[in-house]
Amino acid sequence: MKNYHEMAQSVLSRINEYETAKKRKKKVVLKTAVPACCLCAAVLAGVCLHGTGAKSSKIGIDDTGAKKPISALQNSTAESRKNVTPKDEKPDSSSATKGKKLAYINDDMLGLVIVDGKEYIQEFTDYVIEETYTADQFIGDARDFEGTYKSGDSSIQAKLYTTKESRNVLLVKLGNGGTVVLIRNGEFCINNKDYVYSSDDLDGATKEKCIGKARPYIIEVPTVQNNIGADDTLWTVQGDENKLIAVKPDGTQALYCVEKKN
């Protein structure tokens, strides 16, 4: 085992190595980026020159020899932009991903979105958790879904994405550069209902029918530890279809329920 001095030396040397590698990488990027940018600029200039020449011969002058108004060109460009559907949009990998800025629509509001009847709630977002998830498919604007974003400040854009790491986690990329991690609100899902932990006190609930082990129903989220265990046995509750009892292998019991959607 290292004492604190040895560990500090080791940590500092690793940090130095990291800084050196970072500087080297930056140098390499700069070295290649400058010629690449020059090349791109030259190509772009070439294309522009070629395009201008073509326009003057094909677009600018019609069959009768009369010049077309420029507004006609602008309208066609605007129309082609309008036709881009949200599904064609790719995750924005610029400021939103790299900024790693914690952001909320309102400071006192917990982000919540209901997608396909499932509730996704903002997870306590810290550096490491935010690093864990990366945006995958664009679903739509969070303001178009039921939840807190709908009633929030409509001037802030809030793009909703699935994540590559888990189908139970969504990301909201806000127009102000922030990212919000939304976690599916439930520990397991049976008959399309998400159940959340209620208490260890069964509160008079009595077991009715055994459903089986919890394993196939558990909602896995990489950064969240569930109360329910894979080997817990699930039971229905007499007279209440929105509650279930889970019995751990050591005999302890807990009550789970379906939360009412807002």
- Encoded one letter per residue, x for contact with other proteins by CB under 8 A and - for no contact, window 148-187 reads ----------------------------------------
CA-CA-CA-CA torsion for 34, 38, 40, 41, nearest 10 degrees?
130
Which one, of 188, 176, 160, 208, lies nearest residue 256 by Cα? 188
Outline where 59-135 has alpha helix (H).
70-82, 95-99, 127-132
With respect to other proteins, which residue has the nearer C-beta, 10 or 238? 10
Of 74, 134, 151, 252, which lies in the binding site for other proteins, with binding defined by CB under 8 A? 252
Interaction of residue 98 with other proteins, rule CB under 8 A: no
Q: What's the rounded Cα separation, in Å, for the pair 247 and 250?
A: 8
With respect to other proteins, which residue has the nearer C-beta, 15 or 230? 15
Which one, of 93, 90, 91, 99, lies nearest residue 178 by Cα? 99
Provide the 8-state DSSP code for 150.
H
Residue recorded with tokens 């102000």: 176
Of 109, 114, 121, 129, which lies in the binding site for other proteins, with binding defined by CB under 8 A? 129
| Interface region with other proteins, contact rule CB under 8 A, candidates 34-42, 70-78, 136-144, 194-202 | 194-202
CB of 183 to other proteins, least distance (A): 10
Amino acid identity, residue 112?
L
- Judge residue 113's burial from the number of C-beta atoms within 10 Å of its C-beta, 0-12 exposed, 13-18 middle, 19 or more buried: buried
Provide the 8-state DSSP code for 185.
S
Backbone angles phi, psi at 238, to 5 degrees: -60, 125
Structure-token pair, residue 261 = 């959607």
CB of 186 to other proteins, least distance (A): 14
With respect to other proteins, which residue has the nearer C-beta, 130 or 143? 130
With respect to other proteins, which residue has the nearer C-beta, 115 or 255? 255
Interaction of residue 10 with other proteins, rule CB under 8 A: yes
Asked if residue 129 lies in contact with residue 181, where contact means CB atoms within 8 angstroms, the answer is yes
Q: What's the rounded Cα separation, in Å, for the pair 194 and 242?
A: 10
Interaction of residue 202 with other proteins, rule CB under 8 A: no
With respect to other proteins, which residue has the nearer C-beta, 10 or 151? 10
Within residues 204-223, the interface with other proteins by CB under 8 A covers 222-223
| Interface region with other proteins, contact rule CB under 8 A, candidates 53-61, 155-163, 170-178, 196-204 | 196-204
Q: What's the rounded Cα separation, in Å, for the pair 86 and 109?
A: 26
Interaction of residue 124 with other proteins, rule CB under 8 A: yes
Interaction of residue 18 with other proteins, rule CB under 8 A: yes
Please give the residue ranges that form the binding site for other proteins (CB under 8 A).
Answer: 1-2, 4, 7-8, 10-12, 14-15, 18-19, 102, 124, 126-129, 197, 199-200, 222-225, 227, 252
